[in-house]
Amino acid sequence: MSTGSRKSGVSRRTLLKAGAAISVFPAPRVFAQSAEPLKIGFLTVLTGPLAAGGKQQEEGAALFLKERGGMISGRKVELITQDTAGQPALAKTKLQELVERSKVHVTIGPLATNEALAMDGYVRESKVPLITTTSAATVDLKARQPHPYVLHAFGTAPQVTYPLGDYAAKELKFKKVCIVAEDFTYGHEGAGGFHLAFEAAGGKIVQKLWPPLNAPEYGVYLAQIKPDVDAIYTGFAGSNPLRFLKAFADYGLKGKVAVLGNTTMTDEGILKVMGEEAVGVYSAGWYAAGLDTPDNKKFVAGINAQYKHDPGFYTAGPYTALLIIEEALKTTKGNTSDAAAFLKAMHDVRLTHGPIGPVKLDEYGTPILDIHIRKVARVNGKLTNTIVKTYPQVSQFWTTPAAEAVKQPIFSRDFPPSKNLE
């Protein structure tokens, strides 16, 4: 196995997200049956600026397997982990290794959107199912091009920011917002969802700023923020939310301008190393460690016991992906030799348990699920994403009919169009 790959059982790793309109399932590759180990490929980021999220993903997968003694549906799980380093070309190469050398039955991952896009063609070619745990690129991967071999464990980037935009206009009564989001697919999609929903609810996006993913510093962008905006919408990932919020506070803007953020802006994985700069930040997500359900309390307790910190959205992703696999194998009685039946069973899964609550996949293989508006506060001395409102069972298309939504341009710097810039 190449450098950066390793095999593990109970002690390590997990899956991905993106599916498609499935009326007929193409004939996938046929696998030998069933007393053999269940081989699951796991693509994540263990090195580079996104490695903190990759570590959380590993923890979620490890907990799932530990709880089950390394078994799913009576089969020993062989989890084979590959480090993609957040690099699209490398992610594709690692996926090829998992499929052609390791002969995996299903793959989980990758972490980053641009990686998922780079892998898309090969997934179609290999016909080995991929469950993604990244939240962007969904429309690219599936809705415009039906793709039964890609499913999502999580919602899309705009799926969480639609409700945030709605909440900002209707509940927080913000009128004018500046967008500051990283200049790549994930940043564009999250900002795009917020933009559409905020302006549909009566607000105005008056400014857009696009720092690169590896921006050395943020002062040049902070200096451009208009003084009369009510809030900024921020779209950052990895360790960059910490860097941006510290710069925001250092620049004297905290307390003067409200901050709204995407799921990763104050995810528990980064929140644990933040300070007062994070207090008061609003964000939206399909997960928060404070979700008051028995399944999530058990999940949080398991991660705390093993790793001494709260889980975040990255942690819940592979765990949920493995739940989908587990439920599908209940339907097929542990059988993966009929690959078409296994694929269909995954698409048909309806989760009624797990840390993120009820999940069902739409016709495109993307979950319909609860979205939570969160606000960072100190609770018992610890920074916590407190839930202030829940939007139940949100579709990836928000309020737009699917047939109309998939005809829209891909989210980018230029879409949605900026009609209210000042």
**Does residue 38 belong to any structural domain of this protein?**
yes
* Residue 409: per-residue pLDDT: 86
Using alpha carbons, select from 329, 360, 314, 331 the residue that is nearest to residue 63: 314
Do residue 379 and residue 348 come from a single domain?
no
* Residue 21: per-residue pLDDT: 36
- Number of domains the chain contains: 2
Query: Greatest CA separation found in the chain?
Result: 65
Q: Within 10 Å of residue 27's Cβ, how many Cβ atoms?
A: 9
Do residue 274 and residue 176 come from a single domain?
yes
User: Please, which residues bridge with residue 108 across strands?
Assistant: 42, 131
Do residue 183 and residue 272 come from a single domain?
yes
Domain that holds residue 71: 5-155+293-365
Using alpha carbons, select from 145, 155, 154 the residue that is nearest to residue 121: 145
C-alpha 61, offset from chain centre: 15
Do residue 245 and residue 378 come from a single domain?
yes
User: CA 372 to CA 226: how far, in whole Å?
Assistant: 29
Do residue 162 and residue 150 come from a single domain?
no
Burial of 183 (0-12, 13-18, 19+ CB in 10 A): middle
- This prediction has a pTM of 0.83
Domain boundary, last residue among 315, 336, 365? 365
**Does residue 384 belong to any structural domain of this protein?**
yes
**Does residue 413 belong to any structural domain of this protein?**
no
CATH number at residue 103: 3.40.50.2300
Do residue 151 and residue 166 come from a single domain?
no
DSSP assignment of 113-175: HHHHHHHHHHHHHH---EEE---S-HIIIIISS--TTEEESS--HHHHHHHHHHHHHHTS---
**Per-residue pLDDT in tens (0 to 9) along the chain, 422 residues:** 333 444 444 333 333 333 333 334 455 554 444 468 999 999 999 998 788 889 999 999 999 999 999 999 999 999 999 999 999 999 999 999 999 999 999 999 998 878 888 898 899 999 999 998 876 545 555 556 667 899 989 888 899 999 999 999 999 999 999 999 999 888 999 999 999 999 999 999 999 999 998 899 999 999 999 999 999 999 998 889 999 999 999 999 999 999 999 999 999 989 999 999 999 999 999 999 999 999 999 999 999 999 999 999 999 999 999 999 999 999 999 999 999 999 999 999 999 999 999 999 888 888 899 999 999 999 999 999 999 999 999 999 999 998 888 888 889 999 999 999 99
Q: Which amino acid is at 375?
A: K
* Residue 11: per-residue pLDDT: 38
Do residue 59 and residue 38 come from a single domain?
yes
Burial of 409 (0-12, 13-18, 19+ CB in 10 A): exposed
**Does residue 421 belong to any structural domain of this protein?**
no
User: CA 41 to CA 96: how far, in whole Å?
Assistant: 10
**Does residue 199 belong to any structural domain of this protein?**
yes
Do residue 80 and residue 215 come from a single domain?
no
**Does residue 422 belong to any structural domain of this protein?**
no
Do residue 173 and residue 147 come from a single domain?
no
* Residue 422: per-residue pLDDT: 93
User: Token digits for 17?
Assistant: 């997200």
Do residue 51 and residue 193 come from a single domain?
no
**Does residue 195 belong to any structural domain of this protein?**
yes
Do residue 139 and residue 176 come from a single domain?
no
Which stretch of DSSP H or E encloses residue 5?
strand 5-8
User: C-alpha distances in angstroms, 323 versus 42, 64, 225, 340?
Assistant: 14, 8, 43, 19
Do residue 353 and residue 387 come from a single domain?
no
**Does residue 277 belong to any structural domain of this protein?**
yes
* Residue 391: per-residue pLDDT: 97
